[in-house]
Structure 1
Amino acid sequence: MSEDDALWRRLVFPPDYRNPTPAARYHLTVIGAGPAGLLTAIAAAGLGARVALIERHAMGGDCLNVGCVPSKTLLAGAAGGLTFASAMQRVRAVRASIARHDSVERYCGAGVDVFLGQGSFSSAHEIGVAGATLRTRRTVIATGARAYIPPLPGLGEIAPLTNETVFDLTEQPRRLAVLGAGPVGCELAQAFARLGTQVELLELGPQILPQDEPDAAQWVAEALVRDGVRLRLGARVTGAARTSAGKVLMLADGTAVAADEVLVAAGRARNVEDLALPRAGVRVDSQAGIAVDARLRTSHPHIYAAGDVCAALQFTHAADAQARIAVRNALFPWGARADALVIPWCTYTRPELAHVGATSRQLQQAGRAFDRYRVEFG
């Protein structure tokens, strides 16, 4: 383990940390220390509430550890002409330098009782973690989401990479197959291609970035091709296997795509399985996540949710906005609402593709008239 990774781990999940003795009762308990959970906890503590924060894996969640910070750092390194080794070293150094902002030490210093371990409900007002029971008046669930691995025959056996493991690579793959051309797939495909890896990007649909405008997505597709990415659109993967050629993806048309590594970027799965939500009376859907109303209340009036575990748009800034609403509603009778949020997003390929509001496809499906304008810059 590098010095940077050792520092990072000490900050976000210190091995010698001992959970505190629980308070008699907390005003607010937050489950999950990603962007939504961190903001909820520190805001509530700043308002004078007794707050418990539970994290089972690493403080900072996806954004710091395996999402925004490492991916954007890798993109910048690739665009700046770094080698693979130098780019990955910079990823680890940047992540370690930022980690103290999300560290256990910082949150303990802010008056939050941090508990490391898996949290699960015993009842709506009792949560178990690492052998302790936390009693709480209100709870915010902010457990986020993880990479989804499609149930394709043989895929699990080839040990595919995801955004959660790709930044652990110490050797550059000569060939990389990327399954899924959403933002994660496109960003990492372009980064690895610019670093010199032969990349094939497979997408089931007719365009990359299917949630964005087709014309804009096409400009990004052309840039990927110029950088050496081979696009396979309309590619239905039916299975995977290890062969003498490497890790192989089999397509419905009989094509076999061989690579040294396979990166799965095929969507997200909500982290809800280990929370014992039925004991708390919280309804959850396997696809949509925890059901919430416009005020981010779950089916139990004293339990709220924020961030990727319940949001339709899974972005750090969306989790931040929801956290601000959840903490207000959990602690005060103000009735802040999340249904009026207008959430932009950006895919950090070169060129970048930014978006806000409804797409033309969504407007057409809703039967709403619209005009289209195109303006050239530069």
Structure 2
Amino acid sequence: MPAFGTVSPRDEHNLALVAHVHPPDWTNPTPAPRYNLVVIGAGTAGLVTAAGAAGLGARVALVERHLLGGDCLNVGCVPSKCVIRSSRLHGELAKAAELGFRIPAGIEVDFAAVMERMRRLRAGISRHDSVSRFSKELAIDVFLGQARFVSSDTVAVGEAKLRFARAVLCTGARAAELEIPGLAEAGALSNETVFSLVERPERLAVIGGGPIGCELAQAFQRLGSRVTLLHDRGHILDREDADAAEIVQSAFVRDGIDLVLDARIERVERRGREKIVRVVVGGASREIVVDEILVGAGRTPNLEGLDLERVGVESDPRTGVRVDDRLRTTNRRIYAAGDVCMPTKFTHAADAAARIVIQNALFFGRRKLSSLVIPWSTYTAPEIAHVGLSNRTAAERGVEIDTFVRRFEDVDRAIADAETEGFVKVHVAKGTDRIVGGTIVAAHAGELIGELTLAMVSQIGLSKLASVIHPYPTQAEALRQIGDLYNRTRLTPGVKRLFGRLLAWRRRS
């Protein structure tokens, strides 16, 4: 992330962003005698923790060394989704003839305008995470600077000493530095720098076939770059449902992305302005020449400078701060939430964890992280959304399941929208209607997964979804139709014979 409140390029939108989330003229307040909660890190987990605790009457200090809003606002969810939205127009234009429009040749992507739009929208959204809002509206003491523990109940920020009853570590994570010979010397983009681009790289190599790499690879391909995606496995999105990943991989091929799978990168070199990625695939060497390299693989927890050892907080440079199921560290006065300690590194997971921390740290609560049902969505085109168990994880855990599938090619609204690619797949515990997981592949899968998640959280069985009236026509009807599929399995031959006899008797009466 840009250091100490600086971002690039220095235009009106980024100046507005910085004015909100790291104002240059900010003066740290005089510390209170003691705080109920000192929150270190002002990303999603930190902001939710601080705001929630203050709303309940706690005296709260919030410490941030970079930009309030963290990765999500500044270099993650918000900018990436703005850019992805622009790139999706490519897919809509590809369907123009099918929808009855003739698009003239010669339409061009104005990459600078795409990025300017992103910066403008990000600056507007940043008001919600601003220093002004948290300090004035929420009455939180905001300190800008590096936090470090100096004793079991005190955090120092510069010369200021913040005494606490409880502290929460919410310092997040950053892009991992891959140990590829020559990569550092050649230079590479990450999610922390790619959104500062003002010129489109004509040739772009993306390292990593997980969610971040895939989202940005497809977006840049659709915005006019020639993208090569390198992944060390045989399939992109290999942690997702295999059928879902196959659909997205086919979409990438249609979009013209050069997929280099089962790839082992030997080294990276510079040749003038070009960057050369030397890779081995299937025993054969290949040279990929590009203008830029984007690393979209791996995250490293932000642990530096905190002096955790001084207060007995155990951590690992790969997995982050060690916490128990109640998000308490090895120091009983200190908790953690978000990417710095959790394997599920999503904004909404950090938000949910922060709510657990508020209860457990302030009110002797005993809520557990393992109690959460956390969905996720990968914002490719089509999107993949998932919650709970998949076929693979169910098999690994020895959970027997029944699976029901409804394809969008059979859903009326998807047909009308020319968005028939994808499916809804729901898993139930074998012989029951108890939902244990599901995957949705659709143009707007992320908008649909919430209903399935609600059913799991509220222990609403799949049979009940059939009785939920959905407006017609909507793509969400696929979920009701899945419920219908389950209910049909309850019509056993014996039940059908019984119904047949009953109806025959009714005809005679």
TM-score, normalised to structure 2, is 0.73
* Cα distance in 1, alignment partners of residues 166 and 378 from structure 2: 36
> Are residues 1:124 and 2:152 paired?
yes
Identify the range of structure 1 (206-215 vs 65-74) with the bigger mean alpha-carbon deviation. 206-215
Distance in 2, matches of 1:222 and 1:42, equals 43
**1:106 aligned partner, one-letter code:** R
Structure 1 consecutive aligned stretches of length 4 or more whose deviation exceeds 4 Å: none
Q: Determine the structure 2 residue equivalent to 1:83.
A: 110
Deviation, 1:131, is 2.1
Identity fraction in percent: 52
Q: CA deviation at 1:249?
A: 1.3
Offset of 1:324 from its aligned partner?
A: 0.3
Supply the distance in 1 between the matched residues of 2:141 and 2:20 (Cα, whole angstroms): 16
* Number of residue pairs aligned between Structure 1 and Structure 2: 378
Give the AA of the match of 2:133.
R
Q: Distance in 2 between matches of 1:254 and 1:148?
A: 26
Name 1:94's counterpart in structure 2: 121
Q: Which amino acid aligns with 2:128?
A: H
1:238 Cα deviation after fit: 1.8
Structure with greater helix percent: 2
Out of 220-229 and 362-371, give the one that drifted further. Answer: 362-371
SS at match of 1:101: helix
Corresponding letter in the other structure for 1:15: P
Query: C-alpha deviations, 1:257-297, integer Å up to 9, x for none?
Result: 11100000111001112211111111112222111111110
Residue by residue over 1:274-332, the C-alpha shift from the partner in whole angstroms, topping out at 9 and shown as x without a partner, is 21111111111222211111111011111000001111100000000000000111110
User: What displacement does 1:359 show?
Assistant: 2.3
**Rg (Cα) greater in structure:** 2
Task: Flag the structure with more relative contact order, 1 or 2, with Cα contacts below 8 A and sequence separation at least 6.
Answer: 1
SS state at 1:186 partner? helix
What is the identity, as a one-letter code, of the residue corresponding to 2:276? Answer: V
Instruction: Compute the RMSD of aligned alpha carbons.
Output: 1.2
**Contact 1:178-1:189 at 8 Å conserved across structures:** yes
Give the 3-state SS of the residue equivalent to 2:407 in structure 1. Answer: coil
Matched, 1:251 2:279: yes
| Local SS of the residue matching 1:236 | strand
Q: 1:124 offset after TM fit, Å? A: 2.2
How far residue 256 of structure 1 moved from its aligned partner, in angstroms, is 1.5
Give SS of 2:235's match.
coil
CA contact (8 A) 1:12 1:102 kept: yes
Any conservation in 2 of the 1:116–1:130 contact (CA below 8 Å)? no
Q: What SS does the corresponding residue of 2:285 show, helix, strand or coil?
A: coil
Separation (CA, whole Å) in 1 of partners of 2:151 and 2:235: 46
Match in the other structure for 1:149: 177
Shift of 1:358: 1.9
- Counterparts of residues 22-171 of structure 1 (less than 5 Å): 22-81=31-90, 83-109=110-136, 110-171=138-199
Deviations 1:38-94 (A, max 9, x none): 010011111111110000110000100000000000000111255312211111011
Aligned residue type for 2:247: W
Amino acid paired to 2:338: G
Amino acid at match of 2:173: A
Q: How does 1:223-302 map to 2 (within 5 A)?
A: 223-244=251-272, 246-252=274-280, 253-302=284-333
Report whether the alignment pairs 1:375 with 2:418.
no
- Counterpart of 1:233 in structure 2: which amino acid? L
Is the 1:245–1:258 Cα contact (8 Å) retained in structure 2?
A: no
- Residue 213 in structure 1 maps to residue 222 in structure 2: no
Asked whether 1:7 is paired with 2:16, we answer: yes
Question: Aligned to 1:325, which of 331, 343, 356?
Answer: 356
Deviation at 1:234, TM superposition (A): 0.5
Contact 2:300 2:319 in 1 (8 A): no
Cα distance in 2 for residues equivalent to 1:83 and 1:350: 21
Match of 2:347 in 1: 316
- TM-superposed CA distance for 1:245, in Å, is 6.8
For the residue of structure 2 that corresponds to 1:210, the secondary structure is coil
- CA distance in 1 between partners of 2:141 and 2:273 (Å): 51
Decide whether aligned partners of structure 1 residues 51 and 83 sit closer, same or farther in structure 2, where only a CA change above 3 A counts. Answer: same
1:136-194 CA-partner distances (Å, limit 9, x unpaired): 11001000000011111111111200000000001111000000011111111111011
Residues 249-258 or 183-192, more deviating: 249-258
Deviation at 1:10, TM superposition (A): 1.0
Q: CA deviation at 1:211?
A: 1.6
C-alpha separation in 2, matches of 1:115 and 1:212: 40
Q: CA deviation at 1:204?
A: 0.3
Q: TM-score, normalised by structure 1?
A: 0.98
Q: 1:309 to 1:340 in 2, by over 3 A?
A: same
| Alignment match, 2:385 | 354
- Structure 1 residue 123 displacement after superposition: 1.8
The aligned amino acid for 2:368 is: R
User: Contact conserved, 2:206 with 2:230, CA < 8 A, in 1?
Assistant: yes
Structure 2: unaligned runs, 5 residues or longer: 1-9, 91-108, 410-509
- The match for 2:454 is none
2:81 counterpart letter in structure 1: K
